[in-house]
Amino acid sequence: MTRPFTKSRCLGSVVDTIGNTPLVRLNRVAKEAPGVAVWLKLEYANPGGSVKDRPARRMVLDAVATGRLDERRILTDATSGNTGVAYSLLGAALGFRVCLVMPSNVTRARREIAQAFGAEIVFSDPMEGTDGAIAQVRNRVKSNPDLYFYPDQYANPSNPLAHYAGTAAEILDAVGDEITHFVAGLGTSGTFVGSARRLHEHHRRVYCVAVQPAEPLHGLEGLKNMESSLVPPIFDPGVADETIFVTTEDGWHMADRVAAEEGLHVGHSTGANVHAAVAIARRLHQRGESGCVVTIACDRGDRYFAQPSWEKHYVW
């Protein structure tokens, strides 16, 4: 499926570039299910480099519209990195300050990108993950509520609404009645919950599959094992038709395959999404059924690059 050339757009600011990301068909990693189309929505094409640009934009613009956020207040939230980058980009574009709380073991790329946009970074205990960062943010806001605006991405209804109105609508515009399955991982759960709600309203049934890490302690950054974590208030387990649990090894392996076989350098949470999507495609093929499975490329693989050892000692 290809679309004809469309005229380039002239936009008012970087804020307007968020959304309308492309879908790319995965041909080689899904070759064992030739009758099933597997599509990857490239959310890393957003200006902040991840799917988190969408909810950050919606939460910020909703807060500005209602007077909860202006240049006098500091936006603060807990993040494992991508939402923080999105907040920081929006702060630079719209003129408000940003202070982020991140576990100290987040990738260097994410924290330095956020800092490049002018954000202040405060680190929390890496052993407590994002749950520890959330607790630290809540204490900070409680001690000075007039100084901070706390969007709370884990509880803010604008998070799933961004995907209800944006991500899912774009998927339906691209593949229409062809879509049979939607697959997405659970972190804040906004991507899955918002998209699944909209897709379940479609006049043809769309089967929505949630992806979780198989282990409580895992290496699929940005995803949550809900049984061992603080469950985000926006999470609605009723929208999942099925949950697939993916091991860290399988998520990392599939991320490598997507890069080597499809030319798409994706992060490990995307690897988990694709692993689950291919499993669904394989299941349909084994049943002799056709289908169209859509999943999400959350971010790029370069967000996970470690600092080369020689860089630590080199002085320009």
**What predicted TM-score, i.e. pTM, was given to this entire model?**
0.91
Please, which residues bridge with residue 300 across strands? 266
Instruction: Estimate to the nearest angstrom the gap between the alpha carbon of 68 and the chain centroid.
Output: 25
pLDDT digits (tens, 9 = 90+) for 22-65: 999 999 999 999 999 999 999 999 999 999 999 999 999 999 99
Would you give the end-to-end CA distance of the chain in angstroms? 48
Query: What domains are defined for the chain?
Result: 14-50+166-304 (3.40.50.1100), 53-149 (3.40.50.1100)
Whether residue 316 is predicted with pLDDT greater than 60 in this model: the reply is no
The pairing of beta strand 74-78 with beta strand 291-297: unpaired
The two structure tokens encoding residue 43 = 């959310």
Convert the pLDDT of each residue in 97-141 to its tens digit: 999 999 888 778 888 999 999 999 999 988 887 788 989 999 999
H helices within the chain, ranges in order?
53-65, 82-94, 108-116, 129-143, 158-162, 168-175, 190-200, 248-262, 268-286
Are 27 and 40 within 8 A, CB to CB? Answer: no
198 phi and psi angles, rounded to 5 deg: -70, -40
Answer yes or no: are the C-beta atoms of 306 and 108 closer than 8 Å: yes
Taking alpha carbons only, the member of 283, 284, 278 closest to residue 25 is 278
- For the segment 138-164, the average pLDDT, to the nearest whole number, is 96
Distance CA 297, CA 280 (A): 17
Confidence grade of residue 4 (pLDDT, cut at 50, 70, 90): low
Question: How many other C-beta atoms can be found within 10 angstroms of the C-beta atom of residue 26?
Answer: 22
Structure-token pair, residue 261: 């076989």
Please tell me the distance from the alpha carbon of residue 96 to that of residue 124, in angstroms, as a whole number.
Answer: 23
DSSP 278-310: HHHHHHHHHTT--EEEEEEE-BBGGGGPPPPGG
Mean pLDDT of 254-273: 97
pLDDT digits (tens, 9 = 90+) for 169-191: 999 999 999 999 999 999 999 99
pLDDT at 311 over 70: no
